[in-house]
Amino acid sequence: MYDSVIFDHDGVLTTLVDISLLQDATWAAFDELGVVDPDPEHVRQMVIHVTPDDVHTVADAYDLDPETLFRVRDEKSSAFQCDAIADGLKTPYDDFDAIRRIDAPMGIVSSNQQATIDYVLDHLDATELFGTAYGREPSMTSLHRKKPEPYYLERAMADLGVESPLFVGDSDVDIAAAEAAGVDSAFIRRGHRADHSPSPDPTHEVSGLDDLLAIDGVPVVTDPDSTDEAEASR
């Protein structure tokens, strides 16, 4: 029996933003730092899947402090995403409410910014659903801790006081983080993952959040009308 369910965020609980929005946020970060005509390749390096080497390479090219560059990049990325949430361009998936039937502690572990995760949960009035919710802090240290490293997943487990969660994600790094933490995983095959073959192999594969309720070992509230009572007793 799983004693909790922990979720990745983007592409699992809420829809992805268009890559162009993150590109615009990165251009805005360079502008704030006084770099008016950055190399488009350097902008690309700072949009997604950023590594410490990327940050140092780009910072050196413009005589910027790497920590400052990454902090401003993260702040702009978060601000643009929060605007997208407020404007209805980033929304919960239609099956989001299925997780309200899970009768176990829940958490979030995301590689998005902590400020973005906090804003989403507040906007959805969903903060109370989750016993803990981790995004990244706006520092380069977080690049060494993010998935596939199990750092944030293990912190979430400690916060919830659990040992055998099911971790639900939509990417290889999610599955790898679960494996590194020694816990089971569920790969959710949203539309943007229609043709993806996850590696490493997940413990389960589901097409949506509703399917989680049918996984053997996931505690569920049998009567949906009793969900509020179950949550109140936690």
pLDDT digits (tens, 9 = 90+) for 28-86: 999 999 999 999 999 999 999 999 999 999 999 999 999 999 999 999 999 999 999 99
Least confident of 11-15, 79-83, 174-178, 221-225: 221-225
Domain membership of residue 232 (yes or no) is no
Among 158, 114, 161, 105, which Cα is nearest to 133's? Answer: 114
**Peptide bond between residue 38 and the one before it cis (omega within 30 degrees of 0):** no
Instruction: Please determine, for residue 27, whether its predicted confidence score (pLDDT) is greater than 70.
Output: yes
Q: Residue type for 180, please?
A: A
Please check whether residue 166 lies inside any domain of the structure.
yes
What per-residue confidence (pLDDT) applies to 172?
98
Q: What is the mean pLDDT of the chain?
A: 95
Which pLDDT tens digit goes with each residue over 106-145?
999 999 999 999 999 999 999 999 999 999 999 999 999 9
Instruction: Read off the pTM.
Output: 0.92
> How far apart, in whole angstroms, are the C-alpha atoms of residue 25 and residue 81?
9
Domain, as residue range, for 106 = 2-13+91-212
Please report whether residue 231 resides in a domain: no
Closest CA to 136 of 174, 165, 162, 108: 108
Rounded alpha-carbon distances, angstroms, from residue 169 to 13, 51, 69, 182, 212: 9, 21, 29, 15, 12
Whether 233 is in a domain gets the answer no
Confidence of residue 175 (pLDDT cuts 50, 70, 90): very high
Can you tell me whether residue 154 is helix, strand or coil?
A: helix
Nearest residue to 167 (alpha-carbon basis) of 180, 190, 182, 183: 183
- Position 222 scores a pLDDT of 80
Count of domains for the chain: 2
Picking from 40, 65, 85, the residue at the C-terminal end of a domain is 85
